[in-house]
Amino acid sequence: GRPWEREHVRTTCGYCGTGCQFDLAVAPGQQGKRQVVEVVPTAEAPVNGRSLCVKGRFGTGFIHHRDRLRQPLIKKDGQWVAASWSEAIALIADRWQAIKADYGSDAFGVLASARATNEDNYVIHRLARSVFGTNNIDHCARLCHASSVTGLVASLGSGAMTNPIADLAVTDFFLVIGSNTTESHPVLALAMQKALKRGAQAAVIDPRRIELAGQAQWHLQLRPGTDLALLNAMAQVIIAEGKVNADFVAKRTENYEAVAEAVKDCTPEWAEAITGVPAAIIREVALAYATAPAGAIYYTMGVTQKTTGTHNVMAIANLALLTGQIGRPGTGVNPLRGQNNVQGACDMGALPNVYPGYQPVTDEAVRRKMAQAWHVPPESLSLQTGLTLGEMLDAVDAGTIKTLLIMGENPVVSDPDSDHVVQTLQKADFVVAIDLFMNETTELAHVVLPACSFAEKTGTFTNTERRVQMVRQAIEPIGEARPDWQIITELAAAMGQPFGYTDVAQIMKEIAEVTPSYGGISHERLAVTPQGLCWPCPAPDHPGTPRLHEQAFTRGLGRFHGVSYLPPAEQPDDDYPLILSTGRRLFHYHTGTMTRRDPGLAALYSEEHLEMHPDDAQALGIGDGDWVQVTSRRGSMELALRITDAIVPGTVFTSFHFAEALVNRLTNPARDTLAQIPELKVCAVAVQKI
Ligand code: SF4
């Protein structure tokens, strides 16, 4: 389109949880249909200004890609056959009704989506609870921050990031643990880099010398899976060196004795033997954090994806409570959410234990409120906590869950032990998938429904700092694709329960009515509030809450937890002598279904490799660029080797973006018993040249 034919539509990035905004430039394309032609940065974007990363700025090629699903597909005799919407919906409703009649409500399992809007997730959660009558609903937050929610709710009362991203402008010291922020949250990392330039100090705890580690004052290159030993040693130093904020501990916390007792023998020397990080550095960093006027902690999956994930998170909260580094500008406990709307999907109740706003499904009063909003008898809503993602797959395996509805998730590539996930999905009687593309998971479904991308629909995303922002429709849906909320509304009607939503703003109105923390949020208000609104925002005249726990913790007093180091579930041995850890790359997003269909991003990073330390490569007789086979107790994959001294010896690393080098065939499904999060970050492997 020529520039004068263009229109700009302000919207929110669909990739990571930073929540950057930009304008989608659209112009008439083929057959006069509007097409996305460019992403245009805008200085008015509240989180990012004119900054965007390569994915947000250039990664829109997937929107009009020829692979987009354009029609519903039904599998007949093993072949995909195009169908009309009415045929597909009638077939699904028929099968679901039969399954409900034969096996009951808990034969259903629902995977909601951290990629979809709040409105989409609210409607699918309503379908699960009100139409199916089950609380078996979960999504990939189970794989990222389930342990943050469990740990921080117990410690602080809320599982969310405590401080806004903008607080990096006033922090004096920040600790980054288990987060490759530069590649995973690139624009947020710019704020960290600005803080360093301004003179703030930082310490990075990571087994790899990631870019940020080169810029920070300290890099603590620990062995994977030993975080809890390091965190407990920091607490021990703070206590032993008299750096506890006694006033804060006395007035705002409880259970101090538990942490004092748990860490009393966790000296830096003890931690050095476990982590490989010199004791003197542990001591220095602990004191730098404790004595900074404003000190903050940022973390992601390196902390959470562990069998001790919840305890790791509690140990981080302990540090903030010991030092009083929370509830003030530039401080806080800040778990960075990975996906664009993983915070929102959790807020919307796409979890097995809570309705929207973390209201327990076991609470009779909450059940009555929801039943009234949905015009159903209270008894039709289950009071029993549902199954988590991994437990649902176990239940399919065991034959108790018969049918799965999967919206915008690709568990075959994203979940641990992929081969087992495939075998499990093949056992389900009936799988319905809603997605933009065929992928490794939709291939195993029985019916696939085409969904709209973020460019084709209106709604809201909630970013990592709890900021609710508008997503605005810029183009007409591709083919016959529909927004998820509309598809689910039609499925519910076909199941005999019309939800009555005719436009998406109505859904947010209902969310506000039943969710106290979203009570003051509406599309009308967001239209005139370009900076968005951070929850809790309980009333239409409430300004929102960028910073949590300023006067009191959400749970009242902050609670210390005494937690002890345990090694990862799988240790290296003679057969599998190396540790495998996984993560992300700047140019790709998760299972690659979108970014790998963008020609620019695909060209910038076209194949995956395995990172290995030169000492290990030499011992194994493998050279840079050689193809290797990597094997764990569960499976194997092949890819090229890259030798780098940026990784701690004894550890190898790769991403999970490439299905042809499917690292999750190898990863360990062992779970944290408190949060049911799998230990994706540590498993034992053998590597050999092929
Ligand atoms: Fe999008 Fe995240 Fe990049 Fe911002 S940092 S442009 S939200 S992918």
| Residue pLDDT, tens place only, 279-312 | 999 999 999 999 999 999 999 988 999 899 999 9
DSSP three-state, residue 353: coil
Which is nearest to 536 in space by CA: 550, 523, 524, 548? 548
Q: How confident is the model at residue 3 (pLDDT cuts 50, 70, 90)?
A: low
Q: What angle do CA 404, 409, 410 make, to 5 degrees?
A: 95
- Domains along the chain with CATH numbers: 3-58 (2.20.25.90), 73-141+342-516 (3.40.50.740), 146-336 (3.40.228.10), 578-689 (2.40.40.20)
Q: How confident is the model at residue 675 (pLDDT cuts 50, 70, 90)?
A: confident
Q: What is the residue whose two structure tokens read 């342990």?
A: 147
Centre of ligand 1 to C-alpha 145, Å, is: 19
d(CA 287, CA 99): 59
DSSP three-state, residue 355: strand
Atom of ligand 1 nearest to the CA of 340: 7
pLDDT for the residue numbered 245:
98
- On average, the pLDDT of the chain sits at 96
Atom of ligand 1 nearest to the CA of 57: 6
Q: Which residue has the least CA distance to atom 2 on ligand 1?
A: 16
DSSP state letter for 604: H
Centre of ligand 1 to C-alpha 48, Å, is: 9
* Three-state DSSP string of 297-348: EEECHHHHCCCCHHHHHHHHHHHHHHHCCCCCCCCEEEECCCECCHHHHHHC
- Hey, CA dihedral for 167, 169, 174, 178, is it positive or negative? positive
Average pLDDT (424-441) is: 97
> Over 80: is that where the pLDDT of 244 sits?
yes
Centre of ligand 1 to C-alpha 447, Å, is: 32
pLDDT for the residue numbered 143:
85
Candidate of 53, 62, 657 to mutate for ligand 1, largest count of ligand atoms within 8 Å of Cβ: 53
> Over 80: is that where the pLDDT of 4 sits?
no
Contact 48, 18 (CB under 8 A): yes
Per the structure block, which two tokens stand in for 281?
Answer: 């550095």
Q: How confident is the model at residue 656 (pLDDT cuts 50, 70, 90)?
A: confident
pLDDT in tens, 22-55: 999 999 987 778 999 999 999 999 999 999 999 9
Per the structure block, which two tokens stand in for 169?
Answer: 């402008």
Centre of ligand 1 to C-alpha 205, Å, is: 23
Neighbours of 250 (CB within 10 A): 10
Average pLDDT (501-527) is: 97
Beta strands in 477-606 (DSSP E): 533-534, 558-559, 578-583
Average pLDDT (514-534) is: 97
d(CA 178, CA 154): 21
pLDDT for the residue numbered 671:
92
Q: How confident is the model at residue 317 (pLDDT cuts 50, 70, 90)?
A: very high
pLDDT in tens, 374-413: 999 999 999 999 999 999 999 999 999 999 999 999 999 8
pLDDT for the residue numbered 145:
86
Centre of ligand 1 to C-alpha 328, Å, is: 26
Kindly list the protein residues whose Cβ atom lies closer than 6 A to any atom of ligand 1.
13, 15-16, 18-20, 48, 52-53, 55-56, 185-187
> Over 70: is that where the pLDDT of 232 sits?
yes
Q: Which of 136-145, 307-316, 646-655 has the lowest mean pLDDT?
A: 136-145
Q: How confident is the model at residue 144 (pLDDT cuts 50, 70, 90)?
A: confident
pTM: 0.96
Contact 174, 194 (CB under 8 A): no
Atom of ligand 1 nearest to the CA of 185: 5
Contact 535, 544 (CB under 8 A): yes
Atom of ligand 1 nearest to the CA of 15: 8
pLDDT in tens, 320-364: 999 999 999 999 999 999 899 999 999 999 999 999 999 999 999
Q: How confident is the model at residue 474 (pLDDT cuts 50, 70, 90)?
A: very high
DSSP three-state, residue 625: coil
Q: How far apart are the first and last CA of the chain?
A: 50
Q: What is the residue whose two structure tokens read 């360093």?
A: 196
Q: Which of 4-8, 277-281, 616-620, 627-631 has the lowest mean pLDDT?
A: 4-8
pLDDT for the residue numbered 5:
79
pLDDT in tens, 159-198: 999 999 999 999 999 999 999 999 999 999 999 999 999 9
DSSP state letter for 208: B
360 membership: H or E segment, kind and range: strand 359-360
Per the structure block, which two tokens stand in for 566?
Answer: 């345990």
Centre of ligand 1 to C-alpha 53, Å, is: 5
Which is nearest to 613 in space by CA: 638, 632, 572, 641? 641
CA atoms lying within 13 Å on the CB side of residue 345: 32
Q: How confident is the model at residue 2 (pLDDT cuts 50, 70, 90)?
A: low
